Amino acid sequence: MVLLIAVGLGFIAALIRSLVRQEKLGAVQLKAVWLVFLAFLPQYLAFSLSSTRTSIPNSWIPAILLGSQALLIIFVVINRKKPGMGLMRVGLVLNFMVIALNHGFMPLSPATAQQLIPDGVSVDLMLGERVEYGKDILLLPEETTMRFLSDIFLLPRWFQNYRAAFSIGDLILSCGAFWYLWSLGRPAPVHTVEVEHAQNL
């Protein structure tokens, strides 16, 4: 959710920036975009699509999560010269680390999980178990490896219709995505245009 917000704000910021500069909005020029689709698809099937998430065994989730993170890390490494990719790589690596060190799931504390439950709703949560059909596993803080990298942050309370927890890795990843999209609102460097013009002579 945090990443989606960053992407939306990034596009808006880039558009405003291009309008202020009276420049054409830059095109998204990224290599190996198919890796993003390949990383997204298994997560969508495992966590979002109701017709498939109920049939995917919990034992598959670590491979899905870590495999998806690895594909995204490869993607940002391939595009490392683009603005924001360094931050995105850091965020992905931090998430990969904490998931790998905690049974292949993203750790979530009981206190944080309780705040995600809507008021008036009663839910039984089991320690050491996957939280519903998500990517999280419910762990006590003292049983969590590198807890500071886990889902310890919450969206503001005014996001009443979508309560979600996120990690510092998610936050850094989102900042990188925003930075890249923001960069699309600036004109092409003058020296690049001059070099291309000289090559055409």
Over residues 72-87, the pLDDT tens digits come to 999 999 999 999 999 9
Residue 63 reports pLDDT greater than 80 = yes
For the chain, percent of residues with pLDDT exceeding 90 = 55
Mean pLDDT across the stretch 143-159?
87
What are phi and psi for residue 110, nearest 5 degrees? -55, -40
Q: Of the candidates 145, 70, 73, which has an alpha carbon nearest to the alpha carbon of residue 107?
A: 145
As a whole number, the mean pLDDT across the chain is 85
At 80 the three-state DSSP class reads: coil
Higher per-residue pLDDT: 201 or 22: 22
Q: Residues with Cβ < 8 Å from 147, sequence gap 6 or more?
A: 107, 109, 141
Place 201 in a pLDDT band, splitting at 50, 70 and 90. Answer: low
Residue 197 reports pLDDT greater than 70 = no
Mean pLDDT across the stretch 168-190?
84
Strand partners, 165: 154
At 126 the three-state DSSP class reads: coil
Measure CA of the first residue to CA of the last residue in the chain; give whole Å.
Answer: 49
Q: What pLDDT shows up at residue 19?
A: 80
What would the two tokens of residue 66 be?
């870590």
At 27 the three-state DSSP class reads: coil
Residue 174 reports pLDDT greater than 50 = yes
CA 145 to chain centroid, in Å, comes to 21
Cβ pair 46, 52 in contact under 8 A:
yes
Q: Tell me which of 93-97, 142-146, 163-167 is least confident.
A: 163-167
Q: Residues with Cβ < 8 Å from 132, sequence gap 6 or more?
A: none
Place of tokens 């989730």: 61
CA atoms within 13 A on the CB side of 96: 16
